[in-house]
Amino acid sequence: MPFLSGLAIGFFSIIGFIHATIRKNRGEVWDSFLKAVRWEKALIIIISLFAYGLLLGPIGFFLCTLLFIGFLLRVIVPQRWLLVIGGSLLITVASYVVFEVLLKAQLPKGFLGF
Amino acid sequence: MDFFNSAIMGFQLAFQPINFMFCFIGVLIGTLVGVLPGLGPVAAMSLLLPVTFNVAPVSAIIVLSGIYYGAMYGGSTTSILVNIPGEAASVITCLDGYQMARQGRAGPALGIAAFGSFIAGTLSIVGLMFIGPFLAAGALRFGPPEYFAIMILGMTVLTFLASGPMWKALLMAAFGLFLSTIGMDNVSGIARLSFNIEELLDGIGLVPVVMGLFGISEVMLNVESSMDRSIFATKIKNILPNLKDWKASWGPIIRGTFLGFFLGILPGAGAVISSFASYAVEKKISKHPEKFGTGVIEGVAGPESANNAATGGAFIPLLSLGIPSNAVTALLLGALIIHGIQPGPLLIKEHPDIFWGTVASMYLGNILLLVLNLPLIGLWVKVLKVPYPVLFPLILLFCLIGAYSLNNSITDVTIMNIFGLIGYFFRKFRYEAAPLVLALVLGPMMENSLRQSLLLSDGNPLIFLNRPISSVILIIAFLLLAFPLIPWFNKKRPAFGE
């Protein structure tokens, strides 16, 4: 099965390549998909998600979430500091209560112990 | 146990306080994620899946299916008021729904969407009640070759109906199959494609993949574009449609219901295609097709009924054959397996509580949705006013917690992030993720059926063609694959999913 599915991926990729070549030969011009797109924000989001995954174990859910939400609120579309601090605290505490206390999700504790 | 006794047992289960509460929570969350653009039923269900581990299986399925059909209700609200579909099945509702709102008729548009959804949802459950057990009884005669053929057909239909070139959808299905082979091989015990990474021995989990492909990538794409959205500033009044509206709408509602229900049964079709198909039918048979897109109520009533009817239809292959027909039912299948219930034709016989309890809860859920949607429209509008820059960190956090709490493992978070990135590029290059998800779920089942079939025939692959049912199904699948080679079909194709 892995071999057959790998073969299928290769086969359809070749079809895709031929398809694209035919279209290009017909005179179709492609724009770069990065053009006219604010992809920097998407990049920041994916980096912060990976950072969250890396830091969740060592520093624990509470601190990690606080930093994550605060960072996103401040950086992607900059909000006022009051909203950044208040919003990240509120979201972190609420999610901690809902998932850890009520739903017993066993979130990582980290060096702070919560 | 006869039909009526089973149905009564189902209602007794659905009315138990705990199940009633789960049904309410399900439809409420469903409506909420339907209202919120950027968070669809798939992401919401995968988020809630770990939470349902500790409850009875029937309650888990009730809450998860509530999210599914609840989202179909909620999706119309954003389409009508903001011109942004809350989820994919409501895209077509934007055309006439938003125009109606601009003309000061947001109330009747929302009202007919809710009533149409209610009528279609209820009728499709009646269909599910009658067809489900009948199909399951027939499927008891199916052997591994027939199952293999049905799964091939399911994937073929989904790739056939996917938007864009068919090779892209097939490529995605092949990639999904490839991913499904990661981990320990059940028969030989050999670790496949796990590269000595211990966490990969159990395979790649469906939930982190789905959350990444549908949740994270959606947010990444949304933050790129302008995040301002204006709600049409109108006072929503007269939610109850008048007699003239009803006269124009009852036909589209009934037609949308039948169309949606039968398209929903087809593996791979589902709510999105049904809503498009219903709009196309209504426009074609209308006496004034030129008015479609300018705010005619038929353009809201038909598609909104069709997408709700499709949800009832989609439960038929899931509950009677154990075969999911789209990403949402694939998640429900995953939930059943996690709860130790083997989906398939024996499900209705061995676990009547699951089938009848879910069906009865869907009646209840539809009534709850009607009650929720009409008076609470004002509340949903307020929810819509939460600015996206504040909302998206919350969506990301829910995805992170959902992925982590699945196995209390950071590996799942990493897998979700990787698939978020992959999903982002899929969207950029217009590759649909649905065939991948379906193939990921069907992969292990397909491989088992294939192996069992070949064992039965001593390795002769002609077994699939020698048995009448499997050969007919495979021929249909082959014809669907061959269709795009016909030039006139190819010319018509792009309009379908666009």
- Residue B421 touches chain A, beta carbons under 8 Å: yes
For residue B225, what pLDDT band results from cuts at 50, 70 and 90? confident
Q: Residue B165: what pLDDT?
A: 82
Higher pLDDT, B490 or A105: A105
For residue A65, what pLDDT band results from cuts at 50, 70 and 90? very high
Q: Residue B495: what pLDDT?
A: 39
ipTM of this complex > 0.90?
A: yes
Chain A residues with beta carbon closer than 8 angstroms to that of B413: 52-53, 56
Q: Residue B481: what pLDDT?
A: 83
For residue A14, what pLDDT band results from cuts at 50, 70 and 90? very high
Per residue, the 3-state secondary structure of chain B, as one string, reads CCHHHHHHHHHHHHCCHHHHHHHHHHHHHHHHHHHCCCCCHHHHHHHHCHHHHHCCHHHHHHHHHHHHHHHHHHHHHHHHHHCCCCCHHHCCHHHHHHHHHHCCCHHHHHHHHHHHHHHHHHHHHHHHHHHHHHHHHHHCCCCHHHHHHHHHHHHHHHHHHCCCCHHHHHHHHHHHHHHHCCEECCCCCCEECCCCCHHHHHCCCHHHHHHHHHHHHHHHHHHHCCCCCCCCCCCCCCCCCCHHHHHHHHHHHHHHHHHHHHHHHCCCCCHHHHHHHHHHHHHHHCCCHHHCCCCCCHHHHHHHHHHHHHHHHHHHHHHHHCCCCCHHHHHHHHHHHHCCCCCCCCHHHHCHHHHHHHHHHHHHHHHHHHHHHCCCHHHHHHHHCCCHHHHHHHHHHHHHHHHHHHHCCHHHHHHHHHHHHHHHHHHHCCCCCHHHHHHHHHHHHHHHHHHHHHHHCCCCCCHHHHCHHHHHHHHHHHHHHHHHHCHHHHHHCHHHHC
The pTM score is: 0.78
Higher pLDDT, B81 or B58: B58
- Out of B100-104, B110-114, B299-303, B483-487, which region has the weakest mean confidence (pLDDT)? B483-487
Q: Give me the residue from A16, A37, A69 closest to B224, CB to CB.
A: A37
Res. B483: pLDDT tops 80: no
Per-residue pLDDT tens over the stretch B449-473? 899 999 999 988 898 898 988 999 8
- Residue B392 touches chain A, beta carbons under 8 Å: yes
Minimal CA separation from B272 to chain A, in Å: 25
Higher pLDDT, B165 or B21: B21
Task: Report the distance separating Cα B62 and Cα B43, nearest Å.
Answer: 17
User: What size, in residues, is chain B?
Assistant: 498
Res. B230: pLDDT tops 60: no
Q: Residue B494: what pLDDT?
A: 44
With CB atoms and an 8 Å threshold, state whether A107 touches B405: yes
With CB atoms and an 8 Å threshold, state whether A16 touches B167: yes
Chain B residues with beta carbon closer than 8 angstroms to that of A60: none
Q: Give me the residue from B165, B221, B405 closest to A105, CB to CB.
A: B405
Residues whose CB is less than 8 angstroms from the CB of residue A13 and which lie 6 or more positions away in sequence, other chains included:
B171
Written as six digits, the tokens of B364 are 């209840």
With CB atoms and an 8 Å threshold, state whether A103 touches B171: no
Q: Residue A50: what pLDDT?
A: 94
With CB atoms and an 8 Å threshold, state whether A53 touches B177: no
- Residue B184 touches chain A, beta carbons under 8 Å: no
Q: Residue A35: what pLDDT?
A: 63
Domain boundaries, chain A: 1-30, 39-102
- Residue B396 touches chain A, beta carbons under 8 Å: yes
User: Are residues B456 and B463 in contact, defined by beta-carbon separation less than 8 angstroms?
Assistant: yes
With CB atoms and an 8 Å threshold, state whether B390 touches A73: yes
Per-residue pLDDT tens over the stretch B345-404? 788 778 888 888 888 888 888 888 888 777 777 777 777 777 878 888 888 888 888 888
State percent of chain B over pLDDT 70: 91
Minimal CA separation from A31 to chain B, in Å: 12
For residue B171, what pLDDT band results from cuts at 50, 70 and 90? very high
Q: Residue B133: what pLDDT?
A: 80
* Cα Rg, chain A, nearest whole Å: 22
Q: Give me the residue from A42, A53, A106 closest to B410, CB to CB.
A: A53
Per-residue pLDDT tens over the stretch B148-159? 888 888 788 777
Minimal CA separation from B433 to chain A, in Å: 15
Q: Give me the residue from B389, B401, B428 closest to A33, CB to CB.
A: B428
Average pLDDT over residues B164-170: 84
For residue B498, what pLDDT band results from cuts at 50, 70 and 90? very low
Residues whose CB is less than 8 angstroms from the CB of residue B366 and which lie 6 or more positions away in sequence, other chains included:
B69, B117, B118, B121, B122, B125
Q: Which of residues 214-233 of B touch A (CB under 8 A)?
A: 216, 219-221, 223-225, 227
Written as six digits, the tokens of B165 are 């070139």
Res. B179: pLDDT tops 90: yes
Higher pLDDT, B118 or A31: B118
Res. B261: pLDDT tops 70: yes
With CB atoms and an 8 Å threshold, state whether A72 touches B396: yes
Per-residue pLDDT tens over the stretch B398-452? 888 888 887 788 888 999 999 999 999 888 888 888 788 888 878 888 888 899 9
Q: Give me the residue from A5, A8, A69 closest to B393, CB to CB.
A: A69
For chain B, the average pLDDT equals 82
- Residue B260 touches chain A, beta carbons under 8 Å: no
Per-residue pLDDT tens over the stretch B10-24? 888 889 899 899 999
Chain A: which residues have CB within 8 Å of chain B?
1-2, 4-6, 8-9, 12-13, 15-16, 19, 33, 37-39, 41-42, 45-46, 49-50, 52-53, 56-57, 65, 68-69, 72-73, 76-77, 79, 83, 87, 91, 95, 99, 103, 105-108
Please name the residue of chain A whose CA is at the shortest distance from the CA of residue B406. Answer: A105
Residue A60, Cβ neighbours under 10 Å: how many? 18
Per-residue pLDDT tens over the stretch B272-327? 778 888 888 888 888 888 888 888 888 889 998 998 888 888 888 888 878 787 77
- Residue B279 touches chain A, beta carbons under 8 Å: no
Q: Residue B263: what pLDDT?
A: 84
